[in-house]
Structure 1
Amino acid sequence: MFVMADHGTRYGLTRLTAAGEREDNNPFLLMSVPGSLRGDHQLRTVIQSNARLLVSQYDMYATFVDIVAPHRPQNSSEPTLYGSSILKPLPQPRSCDRLRIPFEYCICDYPRTKMPDDSAPGREAAELMVKNMNNVINSSAGLSDYCVPLTLANAPVAVESYKEEGNLAIHKVTYKVEPGDGQFYGYVSQNVKTGKLSLLSSRLPRLNSYAKTAYCVKNDDFAAFCYCKDIDATTMPPATTASSFIGKLLG
C-alpha cells in the first residue's frame, strides 16, 4: 500500500521558514509492505536503504510498473521509464538534474547567500517574472476574461544567491504583486559576463493564500496568478475565521 501527498505546507508563516520550504517540495510518502513479503530480508534492506535517498514521481511510476509487470523487458515498446523502482537498488548518483527534478523543486541543500533586499538583479528578475505571469493570463481565455493584469508591488524584493559555477549564477527571488498583495518566488539564471537573465521557474509558486481573490477561476491551473476583475466589497467572499469555522461545525 502506498500513501502519497502532492506537497507539504504551502502557505502561512511555516512556509516562510527553511523547514516549510523543504516540506513544500518534499511531499509525504508512506509504503506498507505486504505481510507476506516482510520476512524478505534482502527486500527490506533495499527499501530501507532507498528510503534515505532522493526519489521522484518518475521512480514511483517505475515502482508501480515493477509491481504489475516485474518481468517487463528492458527494450519494451511501452512508454519510457525515466525512473527506477524503489524495490531494487537505485542507480547512483541521485541528483536533481539526473532525476529530472526541476531546480525550483529540488530539495538538495545547495549553499546560498541571503543578499540585502533589492540587491541586483532582484527587481529586474521580479519584473521578468511578473511579465511571464501576465503572459500566462493574457494567453488563456479562462484567465484573461476574469483576471486583471499584475504589476510588481512597491515592496522589498528578497534575493538569495547560489554559488557561481563558471559564468552562471542562480538567484532565488521573492516578490509581491498588485493588486491582491500576492507573494511569489522564482529562480533565474544569470550570465555573469553579460548580466543577461533567464527564467528557470516553470510555475512561480505563491506563498500566501489566494482563495478570496481568485474565486472566479478557482479551478484553473494558474488561479494563483488571478485577481478577479469583479472584486468589490459586495462580491468578496466572507473571511473564514477559526471561530466561524468552529461555529459551523457545531451547527
Structure 2
Amino acid sequence: MAEVGTFTYRMLGFKNKPVNHYIRPFYLEVAKSVKIKHFCHGSKRIHEIFINWLKEGLITNVGRPFFTFGFFSGYSHNTNDCVGLLDEDNVDFLKYMNSLGLLKNTFVLLMSDHGARYGNLRQTEQGKLEERMPYFGIFVPPEFRKEHPNKYIAFLENTKKLVTPFDIYETFMEINEEKNEYKPTDRTSYSLFSNIPMERTCQSAGIEAHWCACLAWKNTSVSENHVINTARESVNMFNEMIGEYSIMCHKLDLKHITRAIKLESNENVLKFKESKDIDGRIADMSAKTKPLQAFYQITMETTPGNVTSSVDLQSGQVFISKEDISRINKYYDAPKCIVKRKPELRPYCVCKENI
C-alpha cells in the first residue's frame, strides 16, 4: 500500500531516496493497474514481487552489515480474509534466509501494526483486544545468545511482561551497541534485553487507559452461580477421566470451594468505540460492549483429595481444559494403584483401600 506509506500518509515523504534500495516508486506505478484489485501484476501476485525484492536485497548484502525494513499490508488492511495467501511464501522466505547462512547472526522481526479495526469482530471484546495487541515476534541469532547469555535470559523473561513498540527502538540501540542519547519520547522505555519491571503498568509505559489491554484477577464470591457450576462440572470431568478405572479409584465428590478469582476485562477497552480524531489521541467512550467470556480460577477440595481448576465460561456453559488443572496437595501413596498403568490419572485417582 505504497500510497499510504509510513512517511507519506499525510506527510511529505523524502526529498532524496532515504535508503540504498527503495521499492515505493515501483508500487506506486503498480497501483495504477486495474489488476491490482485482484492482487496481481502481470503473472505474479504483488506479494511475490515484494518478497523477491527482499530476497535480492539479502543476496546483495551477504557478508556485509545491513538493515532491511519491509511492510506489506495490501491483503489485510481492511479484512483478514486473504492473509493466508502469504503463509507459504513467508515460510519460504525464512528458509531462504537460512540457506544463505544469515540466521546465524541476523535478528529477524515479524510484526504487524494493529489487529482487526473493521467489521463485526471489531465490535466484540476479542476484536478490541486484537486491535490493541498486534503480533510481534523476534528471532535472536545463536551468535548473540552465545556472546550475551544474560541478555538472552532477560529477553525470554520479558516475553511474560508488558512491552510496547517504543521498546523496539531501545532494543535496536542495544543490538548496535550504541549509547542512546536521543529519546524519541518522554515515556520510560526499555531494551528487550534489559530487565523490564514485572510491575510495569500501562500508565508507566505511556499507554492511554482506553488502549490498555491488561486484564486483572480479582476475588469473587465462592457462592456465585458460575463458580459453583464450574466446580461441579470440574468434579464431573474428573470422574469421567477415571471412569474406566472406577473399580480401582474412588469416585470424587465436591466437598467445598476454598477460593475463586475472576479475570476481569478493562472497562476502558469495553467502552471504547472509536477515535474521534485522525491520530487516535481522542477517544469516543460511548460503546456498550459486553464480554462474551469470563475466566475463573477456582480452588476447591474434593472428598477424597483436592485440586485447582482454571476454566473458560461462556454463555453459562462451562468449558474445562485438562491442561488448566493443577493438583495442589501431595499425592503420597494415594494413586499407587494407577501409577504404572495410567500415570496421567495420578492427580485424580485416590485408590480404594482393598486394591
TM-score category (smaller protein): 0.3 to 0.5
Larger radius of gyration, structure 1 or 2? 2
Structure with the bigger RCO (C-alpha within 8 Å, sep 6+) is 1
TM-score (norm 1): 0.42
TM-score (norm 2): 0.31
